[in-house]
Amino acid sequence: MNWQDIDISSGGATLSMWPPVIYYFVSIIVGGGLYFGRLFVEKYANITVFFIYGFFVLLIAAIHYCLFRFGAEFASDILRVHLDVYAYDSIFWGSFCFALLYCIAVPTKFK
């Protein structure tokens, strides 16, 4: 068996493996950036930046939750991205997990 014999299919339709790979790559990069932003905000920022950054992190988490809740309709109508969330269970459940994980990046300590 080689890599050409691998077929990812769902209901007879062959699906590409690239949408989940790109989704997870971008989500991990964004999550890492939010976490390092949290460390920076907790160490150097004033109260205004502290609150604005907290709302920004919650907005990003809400976007991932909306992908989980509303799926492809949200992605195509609001984000203008053709992403069939329901065809990929890994994106469907990953969006919920990322929404929860991004809440860790909300700043909690003020300098």
**Maximum C-alpha span of the chain:** 58
Among the listed residues 74, 64, 77, the one whose alpha carbon sits nearest the alpha carbon of residue 26 = 64
Question: What pLDDT is recorded for position 85?
Answer: 87
Question: How many CB atoms lie under 10 A from the CB of residue 93?
Answer: 11
Question: What pLDDT is recorded for position 45?
Answer: 84
3-class secondary structure, 109: coil
| Calpha distance 28→26 (Å, rounded) | 6
pLDDT tens digits for range 36-69? 999 999 998 899 999 999 999 999 999 999 999 9
- Evaluate if residue 70 carries a pLDDT over 70: yes
Q: If pLDDT is split at 50, 70 and 90, which confidence band does 35 have?
A: very high
E strands, the chain, are 9-10, 13-14
Global pTM value: 0.79
